[in-house]
Amino acid sequence: MAKGISIVKRLQRLRGSPHLRNLLSTVDFNRSQLIQPLFAVESVKADEPIPGLRGTFRQNLESTLKQIEKDLENGVTQFILFNVPAGKKKRDFDHAFSTRMIQSIRKRFGSDLYLWVDACLCSLTESGHCCVYHSDSARQDLETTLNEISSLALSYIEAGADAISPSDMQDGRVAAIREKLDGAGKDLAPIMSYSTKFASHFYGPFRNAADSAPQFGDRNEYQIDVRNRDDALGSSDRCAEEGADLLMVKPGMSSIDLIREIHTRTGLAVGAYQVSGEYAALDVLEEKGLLKFEPALLETWSVFKRAGAQYVITYGARYAKKLGI
Ligand code: PBG
């Protein structure tokens, strides 16, 4: 800068040193605020990589247990489990594979970890949808859907899950799960609701992993339209009213504007799900030589925290220790 010029707002003064940048960071988080997804798949023999989801595999029971052991060594303590049983049905879903998984995890690791279990139907239904349909038509059968979801939730908790995470976006599911759990004396089991969940094109890698792609149509009839801010806020309000303990926005990146507002409206902690397509985008960009995966991942987590996310669900949680978190 030329001598004699005086700039009042010389903002670079505070950006020039890593010590000052650390001093002034308003984002503070550690790896206990990251939740690692796991895909337990009944039909797989050996670990199957999931295209785009670096470090994440479709795994059978034994392999999932080994994975958790490694993750615990890497400081991961929070997991969200997606169960993918072999058989698909229209209704009367079989809980056996999922409960066996949960029991085995609990038996092996006790309270070393906190286990959230996703309670959606889309990995169980022939249709690949998150709901049951009336047998005579393509109309959603809400009553049966809520019964199925809440009885899954109770089975999971009875098998040893710590908490339930409904991702189906069916009206009334949080209330139905709460009532079912409370009725069985499980009133201390928390519900982390996928409360603001948009219909999104960024769930692609997940649907391959969870065998949950819709066989007809899409999920627009139950997930939120990205253009509708009122619905986005109202959906989280409604989950809070129905007794959800934690709220969540999803996909995380495209909900960044909503996180703090939902927290202010409800007073509940709000997390962000960095969904499969968002995570895979980093992987693909690195593959094309366009960025470095790990620092970019850290950048995204910092942005979620800055936006007010209390916790982040991310496929990269198992890299956190390596990244110094
Ligand atoms: C199941 C479910 C989905 C995700 C979490 N639970 C897919 C969907 O709604 O289609 C997406 C997670 C991701 O993309 O990482 N309903």
Q: For residue 168, what is the domain's CATH number? A: 3.20.20.70
User: Containing domain of residue 282, as a range?
Assistant: 11-315
The answer to whether 107 is a known catalytic residue is no
- CA distances from residue 322 to 87, 104, 298 in whole angstroms, order as listed: 38, 28, 11
Give the Å distances, CA to CA, from 7 to 3, 17, 252.
Answer: 11, 20, 38
Assigned domain for 126 exists: yes
Residue whose pair of structure tokens reads 């085995």 in the numeric block: 104
Is residue 54 domain-resident?
yes
pLDDT of residue 72: 98
Output the ligand 1 site: residues, CB below 6 A. Answer: 118, 120, 122, 130, 167-168, 203, 206-207, 212, 219, 275-276
| 76 assigned to some structural domain | yes
CB 31, CB 325: distance < 8 Å: yes
Q: Which residues of 139-173 are buried (b: 16+ CB within 10 A; e: fewer)?
A: ebbbebbbebbbbbbbbbbbbbbbbbbbbbbbbbb
Q: Catalytic residue at 305? A: no
Mutate to test the pocket of ligand 1, among 145, 206, 219, 226 (most ligand atoms within 8 A of CB): 206
CA of 12 to the centre of ligand 1 (A): 42
Residue 308 domain-assigned? yes
Quick check: is 6 in a domain? no
> Nearest CA to 44 among 245, 211, 197?
211
- Domain assignment present for residue 323? The answer is no
314 and 301 in contact (C-beta within 8 Å)? Answer: yes
Atom of ligand 1 nearest to the CA of 168: 16
Q: Burial of 237 by CB count in 10 Å (0-12 exposed, 13-18 middle, 19+ buried)?
A: middle
Give pLDDT tens digits along the chain (325 positions).
557 788 989 999 999 999 999 999 999 889 999 999 999 999 999 999 999 999 999 999 999 999 999 999 999 999 999 999 999 999 999 999 999 999 999 999 999 999 999 999 999 999 999 999 998 877 999 999 999 999 999 999 999 999 999 999 999 999 999 999 999 999 999 999 999 999 999 999 999 999 999 999 999 999 999 999 999 999 999 999 999 999 999 999 999 999 999 999 999 999 999 999 999 999 999 999 999 999 999 999 999 999 999 999 999 999 999 999 9
pLDDT at 3: 73
pLDDT at 5: 83
- How many separate domains does the chain show? 1
Output the pLDDT for position 4.
Answer: 77
Q: What is the residue with the minimal CA distance to atom 6 of ligand 1? A: 167
